[in-house]
Amino acid sequence: MELKISKKHIVIAIVAIVAVWLLWKKGLFSKLKASASGTSAPATGDASIDLDYILSHVVMDGRERNAINTLAEKCKTNAETRQNIQAKAYKNGVSFDQQVAFDAIWMLYREYSNGKWSGWTSDRGWQLIAEIKKL
């Protein structure tokens, strides 16, 4: 039994291989994987920077970890909160989990009075945000 491969089939195979390779080089497959896992917004920052990575690479006290985990849990149950954070992450070019950490730290170290957010209560919040951005 002889297998016949025409030039047409060879050209189609080469075009398909090149197309898949170009999509892979652009990172499309990693963005789709991150989006499907629900841990980060598509096309946003480095998808490998998830909450576990942040919490294991940045030194935080229990109150800071609790604030971040509480906001992350809220994102799982409140679609509006999740969408707001995803939009900010996309706008800021960071992963969804990085934005969760930024928002939790922001709420933890900012004062809220008379219906508005005012100054930072300490430089600790800025330090944490800077460390997370370095990841």
Q: Is residue 2 part of a domain?
A: no
Q: Give the confidence band of 28 by pLDDT, cuts at 50, 70, 90.
A: low
Using a cut of 0.85, tell me whether the model's pTM lies above it.
no
- Phi/psi for 132 (5° steps) reads -65, -40
Structure confidence at residue 19 (pLDDT): 78
Position 119 in a domain = yes
Quote the number of domains for the chain: 1
In a domain, 6, yes or no: no
- Residue 31 scores a pLDDT above 60: no
Q: Is residue 27 classed as helix, strand or coil in its secondary structure?
A: coil
**Cβ neighbours of residue 98 under 8 Å, at least 6 residues apart?**
45, 49, 54, 89, 132, 133, 135
CA distance 56 to 106: 20
Report yes or no: 108 and 131 within 8 Å, Cβ to Cβ: no
At 10, the amino acid letter reads I
The answer as to whether 46 is a domain residue is yes
> Does residue 63 lie in a domain region?
yes
- Domain housing 68: 38-134
DSSP 119: E
pLDDT at 71 over 90: yes
Residue 49 within any structural domain of the chain: yes
Q: What would the pLDDT profile of 72-103 be if each residue is shown by its tens digit? A: 999 999 999 999 999 999 999 999 999 999 99
Angle at 20 between CA 4 and CA 36, to 5 degrees: 130
Per-residue confidence (pLDDT) for residue 48, from 0 to 100: 63
Report the pLDDT value the prediction gives residue 36, as an integer from 0 to 100: 44
Model pLDDT, residue 27 = 62
Residue 1 lies in a domain: no
| Alpha helix positions (H), 1-135 | 7-26, 28-37, 51-57, 62-77, 79-92, 96-109, 124-134
Contacts of 29 (CB under 8 A, 6+ apart): 23
With respect to residue 44, please indicate whether it lies within any of the assigned structural domains. yes
